[in-house]
């Protein structure tokens, strides 16, 4: 096909002149795919890819061999991804907590009423959250003991505990405001 009929994006790329350009030509597409797979968003993946190569333009030691440069670039990509997730989670809105101070929650309830309320909240949780919370907080088991008792990994126990506590707080707070208003009047 004559060059005049070839589409601009299919034209052969000119030979890369600098080590950074050669590295970019070799790893830009796989690096973009890595980011896209991790964040699931084209624009964010492009931004992360650009961020890594901008950092490489400033800091990459081009006197090293290509394998060392690729290893540095992989580590820089991992760091950029971790920074992305940190920024994303820090930007999320905080949980709204009622005006009542934490010490006052349940202070006017008898121990029987508090135990009953706790039992109601636990009963409304999914079974896996309930089992983990009972073992961890009511029976005082460690993460490892809970994991062994339930046949789970310690990491999975920590995730279930976090989600269970968060969900229990949501359930407890959803029912509490009316009761607090009555107690404060």
pLDDT tens, 123-155?
888 899 899 988 988 888 898 999 999 999 999
Per-residue pLDDT at 149:
93
* pLDDT value, residue 87: 85
Helices 66-91 and 42-59: crossing angle in degrees, nearest 10, is 130
- Residues in the chain, pLDDT under 50: 1, 4-12, 97-98, 100-105, 177-185
The CATH code that applies to domain 105-184 is 1.10.10.10
Nearest to 152 by CA among 135, 175, 170: 135
pTM: 0.43
The b/e string for 55-89 (b: 16+ C-beta within 10 A; e otherwise) is bbeeebeeeeeeeebeebbeebbeebbeebeeeee
The pLDDT tens digits of the residues spanning 26-46 come to 889 999 999 999 888 899 999
CB 124 within 8 A of CB 171: yes
CATH for the 15-91 domain, from 3.30.43, 1.20.1050, 1.10.1740, 1.10.3430: 1.10.1740
> SS3 of 6, please?
coil
Euclidean distance between CA atoms 65 and 71, whole angstroms: 10
Farthest-apart Cα atoms in the chain, separation: 89
Domain locations along the chain: 15-91, 105-184
């Amino acid at each position: 096909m004559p060059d005049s009929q070839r589409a601009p994006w299919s034209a052969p790329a000119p030979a890369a002149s600098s080590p950074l350009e050669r590295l970019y030509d070799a790893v830009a597409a796989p690096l973009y795919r890595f980011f896209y797979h991790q964040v699931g968003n084209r624009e964010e993946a492009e931004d992360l890819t650009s961020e890594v190569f901008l950092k490489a333009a400033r800091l990459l030691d081009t006197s090293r061999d290509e394998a060392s440069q690729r290893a540095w670039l992989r580590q820089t990509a991992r760091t950029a991804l971790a920074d992305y997730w940190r920024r994303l989670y820090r930007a999320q809105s905080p949980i709204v907590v009622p005006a009542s101070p934490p010490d006052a929650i349940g202070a006017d309830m008898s121990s029987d009423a508090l135990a009953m309320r706790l039992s109601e909240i636990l009963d409304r949780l999914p079974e896996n959250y309930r089992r983990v919370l009972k073992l961890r907080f009511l029976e005082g088991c460690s993460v490892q003991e809970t994991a062994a008792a339930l046949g789970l990994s310690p990491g999975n126990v920590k995730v279930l505990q976090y989600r269970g506590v968060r969900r229990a707080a949501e359930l407890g707070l959803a029912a509490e405001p009316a009761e607090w208003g009555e107690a404060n009047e």
